[in-house]
Chain A
Amino acid sequence: MNTDRFHSDRLDSFRELLERSDAALVLTAMAAFYLLFLGIGAVLNYNLAGIISILGQVTFFTAVYALVVLALNLHWGYAGLFNIGIAGFMAVGVYTMAMLTAPPTGSPPGLGLPISVGIVGGMVAAALIGLVTALPALRLRADYLAIVTVAISEIIRLTYNSPAFSTFTLPGGIALGTGGANGIGNFPSNPVRAIYYVDPESAASGTTPIGTAVFGFFENTLGVFRSAVIVDLTYGLVLAVVVLLVYVLLARVGNSPFGRVLKAIREDEIVAKSLGKDTDRFKIKTFMLGCALMGLAGVLWQGFGTGAVYPQAFRPELTFYIFIAVIIGGAGSNTGSVLGGAVFANLLFLLPQYLPNIIEQTFAIQANPNTFIAAVGPIAAGEITPLLGYVLNQRLPALRFVFVGILLVYLMQNRPEGLLGHRTETAAAVDLSDGHTPRAGSQSDPTPPAASDPGGVEDE
């Protein structure tokens, strides 16, 4: 009995901690996801390197989704700017980066500039494309912005896909290229490799002192020989730091008079204008900042994450993944954005990739037959296993869209505000109630206060 109460007290204080501390909330959620995927690794009998690899994936996808969702939350959650061209702005970021940094002698050729220039250039280019998109559309109603952004996003993807720009020469005789449908393969190597390898381009070049120490630790203590897995995990952790920095940046933007004007624009732009706010200026700045962050996310996700860039990665469904994540998390909340990104990345993106194997292993269902006829035929004889096997046979990840659809319908009906959208995050740089206690209601009190002097208004 006492132990029960002890447990329930601890549970209550833990719940309180989660409500009070966003950091605790996010860390708890991440711990849960790590545990889930550790469990999956165990069920699938992965060795330690395999498990570290899964955890690296969890970290990577959580971080990249959180990053883009945070950027979208600035647009949609704060300012109500309905941007459905996210994939396009990510593409501009990563393509610009690739074209700036690819070697001039490569195929397609680039400018051979340093990585840091490439990253900044990618963000600036995405912001400028954002500006070009926003200038005509922001003066119109919100739905026009949506139409323009989705169109621009497709124009961007098809332009990168076009053979016409596969390689081209700028007026000064400088050769550049998008690689057309094949994309750009000679992408600069992931910068975290420089921590471990003497030459980041080649693992055979030998390890740095840090590399020797870390790889040695994993090899001798844990028996993990695959250094690529350690590099990936490190990159995931670096991305987590980037997410933290972007979170702090956006929290500052939100908790300021600037963020207050954005909220006012979302609520009623005419009111914001009637109070003297130049709403166009606020919207353009916000749109450019969000696009720059989407460009950064493109570089860190599609660029360094996959080591190559190709146009098919930026199909419109990417944009909708991000929107679903922001809806899950709750529009308007930065912490909600991180949580929404984490939930989407882990439960809707990664989990379906492992699910077929888990089901196969657990329920001893064979992932066959291959054809629909062979799957439904035996149902007449009361055999349902072939249908399950058919669904499992590499088709479960494709059912992700069905899961996502069901989840969206559920959310819209039962919790349209998402996980954290119900919270009121006050847009101010200080605690607005500090030093003040709202006194008990007086407005509804019908007795006339003695202080009022009806004679006072006559003296004109």
Chain B
Amino acid sequence: MSIQLLERDLERLESLWDDGLSDAYRSYMEAVAAYEPEAQPRLALAAALIEIGLRLQGLGGRAAAAPSLLMGDLCLARSSRLLAGAASQSVQIAFARAIETLSAAAASDSSAPLPRPRELLLRAFEAK
């Protein structure tokens, strides 16, 4: 599978690529086949960055130490920029809602397990 991402898209995140980001990216690439070919890599990376970013932060579990939290923040911010450039308004909104759902659940005192990020993010692609 070819990786058609710009250097800027992975800047500062190179260390994450081999630490789960590339796997997540490849998984999401399979979900974006219905999108314009040039948009597919960035959409897949955006979803992967959200999944990895939330994991780095420890959302729903023990809060990460400062460096991991900040790296997670950068993942979310990068994802937001990628979506702003490559996704339709409805997809941008759907992705934001997925994070809202996950973080609201993490903030609540409920003992119910957190929704699975990947399921929510894959569903967000359907907002195309």
Q: Do A and B bind each other?
A: no
Chain A residues at the B interface, C-beta cutoff of 8 Å: none
